[in-house]
Structure 1
């Protein structure tokens, strides 16, 4: 009952705020405009939760996912900029502009801004991610591994929108970087292997001189995590399902360990297990840990990990949603320090979840150049 009430209140706020400001209160539109606007908000509001469940529930009906995802993105941006529109409303009021002109000006400006952001956000979401290069010094890294190039992709979220061409572009962009190690830190796809394998398979063309490593994110556990682990292995990736892989160069060694997402505890044989992941590893070797969520860094600190690689946050994806992400996660994106030794790199993600928009939160292919102390 409480969850249902919260859902109703959230939907009422998201849809009701822009409806009141743009249609009902102040603009004094002609009756046909008022009726049409009200009917549009009402129909979308009533259809949205049903289509969200139909699309993202067990049935995975893609047309319903597309409609509900786009609706979620549009209504969020509309809600945010309707609130910001009250600043313009105040300015116009101080300038002596009366209603309904004041309310109509604000409504038009908000709609123009929202339309522009939707075009910009869609373009950002659908483009091949920009490359973001960061040098990371690991005090325990041997000289033989100095300059090791680790490329991180994450949160590709292959889903109801057909993105096979985008996937091929992503793989080509990674190969152009001449990586030594490529890591995919989870949230590979939304849906079953049989539904999304066509989009995922171009990742089989990714090349790395040392290793291609993959871990699960939370979204794999909403569908078929083991199926995705098996499929990525068939594409030549090494699934670090609570295990590790050692890279050796010039007589020096670096341990790449991977742990499951915490969501995996609901599936037998899954769930994060750092002890199993590091079992048999030399404690004197530096450790890079693949863990989907940044908040798993607390486990990394306890285990003496040197560098954790994560995604999950999407950098907020649609501004200002990043404020809500920070409530749940310690870091939004970039390199950060934790504890006496552990560093954490959080990627903004290579794809997007749900709404096909990225507003002021660009996607990325992360290149980490590992350095030993000089």
Structure 2
């Protein structure tokens, strides 16, 4: 049995366009100055509004960010300068390889050309896989070349005249290509079910052994299409849980682009239902349209809202909040107070929050368990600390946050703009609730 409490959701975009007023430019009216100011203001408002409108296929038009492009170009430039150019190859060959490397490094620009968004490459799946492999290989080769250069620098200090033979450069290139292939294969596989047991303070005995399955960061796209989604759904339905939750980032693409790919999610089944929250990527592709579509598929969204799960006279609060990126597109930001409004004070709270960085605030509000995603587990072990810095220190797995348990899933899928996993495998997380021992209460 379930009853809803809603703290209010976000506002959808209007369904009409506003056009600037065509005002006379040679008015002799005494109101000419005021009208001129109104005209400028109207045009500015329209420009802002159009910036928030869906792209022609439903995605917000993504402007090219020079810093974004520079970050992804630097590894390629380093590879060209420090790996390719010292090789004993003819200049035309080097130039040809350099062009190929530069083309691969601009994968996100090609994605934007294909769909209007760097987040949704609309190429055949094989091409998306190839781009991710090439892009990953360039990044890994840059890292390996940096290590070689550091080693060379040390050798130069010890003995002069050290030269790195071509064989070493070819070897690290082969290693980078192999690791990239392994990383992409790990990223796109259907993830296993990972079991996690969590002790909940004040958990009613009726909920001892209650099981829920967390899916997150599905990123359904050309890389993770309907066939992949179907296998995820089949594995989820066979997991034997009481409840299924999805903690955001369902998609990369508009409803029109992803309608068939997300269709298998309508078959998710659990005795207590399927609940979800939006992630930041839902706001990139017409949030209001996606909320309507997912709700129509039988997935019950919890945007700053909660539901009461019942076992006899015992209650468990399942609450959800919107994403931190929501206000940037005119939607309601996360509001835990609204989400918990009307919830019984005595019932433990399980919170769904796409990003983990606000976990300490949730703990201060008495939340017992927070489930998050967003970080993809850092994707590459060793580099996950970079992701942790941007997410409040949280990146993968279980954390004790001021008495609250935070679990950050590695993710079920992955953003198709950088699909590489080395040491941080994907997962579908089956969480079993247990009452906390008295000394942990």
Q: TM-score, normalised by structure 2?
A: 0.76
Structure 1 pair 58/39, CA: closer, same or farther in 2 (3 Å)? closer
Partner of 1:234: 296
1:273 counterpart = 2:335: yes
Report deviation, 1:280: 1.0
1:54 counterpart = 2:113: yes
In 2, the alpha carbon distance for the partners of 1:313 and 1:106 equals 34
Structure 1 pair 238/82, CA: closer, same or farther in 2 (3 Å)? same
Question: Does structure 1 retain, via aligned residues, the 8 Å contact 2:104–2:135?
Answer: no
In 2, the alpha carbon distance for the partners of 1:187 and 1:336 equals 22
For the residue of structure 2 that corresponds to 1:150, the secondary structure is strand
The partner residue of 2:235 within 166, 169, 173 is 173
For the residue of structure 2 that corresponds to 1:54, the secondary structure is helix
1:349 counterpart = 2:411: yes
In 2, the alpha carbon distance for the partners of 1:348 and 1:255 equals 24
The partner residue of 2:356 within 294, 307, 329 is 294
Question: Does structure 1 retain, via aligned residues, the 8 Å contact 2:111–2:117?
Answer: no
Question: Does structure 2 retain, via aligned residues, the 8 Å contact 1:88–1:106?
Answer: no
Question: Does structure 2 retain, via aligned residues, the 8 Å contact 1:48–1:71?
Answer: no
Question: Does structure 2 retain, via aligned residues, the 8 Å contact 1:352–1:358?
Answer: no
Partner of 1:23: 84
In 2, the alpha carbon distance for the partners of 1:5 and 1:231 equals 34
Report deviation, 1:96: 10
Report deviation, 1:362: 0.5
Partner of 2:189: 127
Structure 1 pair 254/87, CA: closer, same or farther in 2 (3 Å)? same
In structure 1, list runs of 5 or more residues that go unmatched. none
Report deviation, 1:162: 5.2
The partner residue of 2:137 within 74, 87, 105 is 74
Report deviation, 1:43: 4.3
In 1, the alpha carbon distance for the partners of 2:121 and 2:377 equals 28
1:364 counterpart = 2:433: no
Number of residues of Structure 1 aligned to a counterpart in Structure 2: 367
Partner of 2:28: none
In 2, the alpha carbon distance for the partners of 1:323 and 1:269 equals 30
Q: TM-score, normalised by structure 1?
A: 0.89
In 1, the alpha carbon distance for the partners of 2:414 and 2:245 equals 17
Report deviation, 1:270: 2.3
1:40 counterpart = 2:103: no
Question: Does structure 1 retain, via aligned residues, the 8 Å contact 2:133–2:184?
Answer: no
Report deviation, 1:8: 6.5
Partner of 1:198: 260
Report deviation, 1:356: 2.9
Report deviation, 1:70: 5.2
Report deviation, 1:42: 4.2
Partner of 1:373: 436
Report deviation, 1:137: 0.5
| Cα RMSD, aligned residues only | 2.7
Structure 1 pair 256/71, CA: closer, same or farther in 2 (3 Å)? same
Partner of 2:5: none
Partner of 1:136: 198
For the residue of structure 2 that corresponds to 1:246, the secondary structure is strand
For the residue of structure 2 that corresponds to 1:76, the secondary structure is helix
Partner of 1:63: 123
1:33-79 Cα shifts (integer Å, max 9, x gaps): 3233233334445x546324324635956139937655543332222
For the residue of structure 2 that corresponds to 1:283, the secondary structure is coil
In 2, the alpha carbon distance for the partners of 1:238 and 1:8 equals 37
